[in-house]
Amino acid sequence: MLKSFWFWTLIILITIQFFSLDVPAKLPIKKGEELQASSEVISILKRSCYDCHSSEVKAPWYYKVAPISWFTQVHVKNARAVVNFSKWNSYSKTKQLKVLDKLPKSVVIRMPMPIYTYMHKEAILTNKEKKTLAKWARELKEKIK
Ligand code: HEC
């Protein structure tokens, strides 16, 4: 019984590799479009958010393996649609305000996504870092308004 379970699991894993998706593409980064902020804020965002919310992707080998590749494709696509910090300055005021409005709450409840931090412990934010990001978002919101 057990033997055939692992056998079929292996067969399935091998089969789905034919339907694996590519690693999310690095997009070209235009000068002047990238988010500008203090080096503290940028370094937190880069460490914890840029794998999904930027045009850069650090892709370890297992990103190519299905079913992980399915998650990464969808996550990065959806995340970039919400906000791509590499294109920040090309966004309208309305879009920027919408992101900044949600950001303080997002970093407390759901960002970075737990499915991601499970593999990327270095992306977990400390309480101090969450506060730093929330403060930055609130201040920038006031400035843009
Ligand atoms: C593993 C990929 C991933 C990482 C890493 C990540 N996000 Fe997200 N983020 C997403 C996805 C996907 C969405 C789209 C909403 C959804 O369907 O969950 C999203 C949505 C958001 C939103 C919109 C509001 C919301 O909560 O849905 C904000 C703001 C946000 N992320 C900020 C951040 C910040 C700030 C970081 C870093 C501290 C971060 N994210 C890290 C994938 C990611």
Ligand 1 centroid distance, CA of 70 (Å): 17
Q: Does any ligand 1 atom lie closer than 6 A to the CB of residue 111?
A: yes
pTM for this one? 0.86
Q: Does any ligand 1 atom lie closer than 6 A to the CB of residue 102?
A: yes
Give the per-residue pLDDT at 22: 66
Pick the atom of ligand 1 nearest to 120's CA.
Answer: 5
Burial annotation 84-111 (CB, 10 A radius, 16+ → b, else e): bbbbbeebeeeebeebbeebbebbeeeb
Orientation of helix 39-48 relative to helix 127-144, angle to 10°: 120
Pick the atom of ligand 1 nearest to 103's CA.
Answer: 29
- Show pLDDT as tens, one digit a residue, over the chain (145 residues): 667 888 888 888 888 887 766 667 778 888 899 999 999 999 999 999 998 899 987 777 777 778 887 888 888 889 999 999 999 999 999 999 999 999 999 998 888 988 888 888 899 999 999 999 999 999 999 999 8
Dihedral over alpha carbons 49, 20, 115, 38 (to 10 degrees)? 0
Q: Does any ligand 1 atom lie closer than 6 A to the CB of residue 100?
A: no
Q: Does any ligand 1 atom lie closer than 6 A to the CB of residue 82?
A: yes
Give the per-residue pLDDT at 26: 78
Q: Which of 29, 38, 31, 44 is nearest to 140 (CA)?
A: 38
Q: In whole angstroms, what is the distance from residue 145 CA to residue 140 CA?
A: 9
Nearest CA to ligand 1 atom 6: 112
Pick the atom of ligand 1 nearest to 78's CA.
Answer: 12
Cβ atoms of 95 and 19 closer than 8 Å: no
Q: Does any ligand 1 atom lie closer than 6 A to the CB of residue 80?
A: no
